[in-house]
Chain A
Amino acid sequence: GQQLNQSPQSMFIQEGEDVSMNCTSSSIFNTWLWYKQDPGEGPVLLIALYKAGELTSNGRLTAQFGITRKDSFLNISASIPSDVGIYFCAPANYGGATNKLIFGTGTLLAVQP
């Protein structure tokens, strides 16, 4: 079956540090999404990638869709305390009949002021 690996599982950093996390899959996808879950809340979409090789930024966040279409990474620059939460990658095949997302196991980010 399909395997989706997200790493690292957790990160404990100092405020101001940069962060990098990634997802790799055994299957090809045409869409990679990144979500953030604040403590006690549901996930919220951060960045959407729809093209292999695409590099997209949203403020201090940068994400890339891997050329092989089997991976993606998310970088956060100059982290701040409100970056705390769980980050999920969620690949899918755009245009599918069911609009189903698969979620990675998540990266827990803790930022110490």
Chain B
Amino acid sequence: NAGVTQTPKFRVLKTGQSMTLLCAQDMNHEYMYWYRQDPGMGLRLIHYSVGEGTTAKGEVPDGYNVSRLKKQNFLLGLESAAPSQTSVYFCASSRTADTLGGYTFGSGTRLTVV
């Protein structure tokens, strides 16, 4: 029972390159989220999805795009990476609004943009 799986775990990009981070969950959760974690700033919500085919902006969406074509997958894209996007990225999922405490997080992707 894998829970939430993020790939890759580590990546180094050059400024201007693009990449996609993949999040997969096997719990049949409706809601999925992408957060970034920076020192002293906690976890900030980038984008989220309340179901297959839906996406919405979070607190810090600029420079990122997302897609949720399949219920189990939530993709985070960086079209033109910038050094300010150096961070640790976490994906999370939850069943519905009535299980508010039930966020399950992946183990993170550490991204460095040089």
Contact = CB atoms under 8 A, between A and B. Distances in A.
A42 B31 contact: no
Interface string A52-76: 0000000000000000000000000
A103 B42 CA distance: 6
Given A98-B50, A98-B56, A106-B42, A41 B108 contact: yes
B34 interface: no
A100 B43 contact: no
Interface string A21-36: 0000000000101010
Interface residues of B, number: 29
Given A42-B106, A105-B41, A100 B48 contact: yes
B100 A31 contact: yes
B92 interface: yes
Nearest to B40: A105
A42 B42 contact: no
Given A98-B48, A99-B31, A101-B103, A43 B43 contact: yes
Interface of A: 6, 9, 31, 33, 35, 40-45, 48, 88, 92, 94-106
Interface of B: 4, 31, 33, 35, 40-45, 48, 50, 56, 58, 90, 92, 94, 96-103, 105-108
Given A99-B31, A106-B42, 16 more contacts: A6-B42, A9-B40, A35-B103, A41-B108, A42-B90, A42-B92, A43-B105, A45-B102, A94-B97, A98-B31, A98-B56, A99-B97, A101-B100, A103-B35, A103-B42, A103-B43
